[in-house]
């Protein structure tokens, strides 16, 4: 399944038919493209426990879009892959983390490499290594795909992947502006490498690389994005509160792990 097909399918309404004894409600959670698979999975579980509630997870408007939409009162709940910036604090939003999604490095399925060292990743993204034969693959040009400067996955790499903040990304890389665009290019273009949320990567037609022998779900994997909810205190009632409490409870830890992420224990 291509990631484009998935994201179209992930414009989701996860619903359970309301019984005559249960009130019906709909909750739309807008925001980042990171963690869509995780949030959909949580939504399925929530709807199993709370009959009559529909959880809508629309396509990405970015973390900044979520903060603005909730801050302006257009929506009551947003999903973000970063914290609230100083310039956004005037919206008066609360934040609650619920999962960490590893930032996976992945390649076109035809690339004959399955593991890179951390240093090799840095050398590829800085342009020092330009051919797959130099890291154990075939004689093939490495086509580097990166995200725009404000992307949450790039920010996570710069904050948590050892050495990534110290390199200048090669000017021969292709910049993409959405998670679906990144996966579409890597799925289609031979020799390509990219990075993005592991929950999406695991369902895409790409090869996820090990880094220093570690898969993204392993303890000690070097980089992850923290996913969280943003909301106004006055809206943290009824279905909003129920959903947030459920999404941050131990009841969904297995669901989160199965979706390719790691649970976060919210305070």
| Whether pLDDT at 8 is above 60 | no
Confidence of residue 51 (pLDDT cuts 50, 70, 90): confident
Residues of the chain with pLDDT > 90: what percent?
A: 79
Q: Which of 1-5, 55-59, 191-195, 224-228 has the lowest mean pLDDT?
A: 1-5
Q: Identify the helix (H) or strand (E) that includes residue 42.
A: helix 36-49
- What does the alpha-carbon distance between residue 66 and residue 74 come to, in Å, rounded to a whole number? 10
The reported pLDDT for the residue numbered 137 is: 98
Q: What value does the mean pLDDT take over residues 163-169?
A: 98
In 10 A of CB 6, how many CB atoms?
17
pLDDT of res. 25: 82
* Residue 54, SS3 per DSSP: strand
Q: What's the start-to-end Cα distance of the chain, in Å? A: 37
15 — pLDDT class (breaks 50, 70, 90): very low
pLDDT band at 43 (very low <50, low <70, confident <90, very high): very high
Region 150-172 average pLDDT: 95
Q: Which domains does the chain have, with CATH numbers?
A: 3-101+226-263 (3.40.190.10), 103-211 (3.40.190.10)
- Pairing state between β 94-107 and 224-231: antiparallel
The better pLDDT of the pair 20, 33 is held by 33
């Amino acid at each position: 399944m291509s990631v484009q097909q998935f994201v179209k399918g992930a414009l989701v309404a996860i619903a359970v038919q309301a019984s005559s004894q249960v009130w019906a409600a709909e909750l739309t959670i807008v925001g980042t493209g990171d963690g869509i698979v995780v949030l959909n999975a949580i939504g399925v579980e929530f709807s199993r426990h709370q009959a009559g509630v529909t959880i809508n997870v629309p396509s990405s408007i970015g973390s900044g879009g979520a903060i603005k939409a909730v801050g302006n009162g257009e929506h009551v709940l947003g999903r973000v892959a970063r914290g609230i910036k100083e310039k956004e604090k005037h919206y008066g939003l609360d934040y609650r983390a619920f999962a960490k999604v590893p930032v996976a490095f992945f390649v076109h399925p035809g690339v004959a490499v399955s593991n890179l060292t951390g240093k090799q990743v840095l050398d590829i993204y800085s342009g020092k290594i330009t051919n797959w034969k130099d890291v154990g693959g075939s004689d093939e040009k490495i086509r580097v795909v990166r995200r725009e400067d404000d992307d949450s996955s790039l920010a996570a790499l710069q904050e948590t992947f050892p050495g990534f903040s110290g390199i200048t990304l090669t000017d021969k890389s292709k910049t993409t502006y959405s998670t679906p665009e990144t996966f579409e290019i890597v799925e289609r273009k031979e020799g390509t490498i990219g990075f993005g949320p592991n929950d999406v990567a695991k369902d895409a037609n790409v090869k996820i690389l090990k880094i220093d022998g570690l898969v993204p779900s392993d303890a000690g994997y070097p980089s992850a994005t923290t996913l969280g909810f943003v909301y106004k205190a006055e809206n943290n009632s009824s279905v909003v509160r129920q959903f947030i409490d459920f999404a941050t409870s131990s009841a969904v830890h297995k669901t989160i792990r199965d979706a390719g992420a790691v649970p976060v224990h919210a305070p």
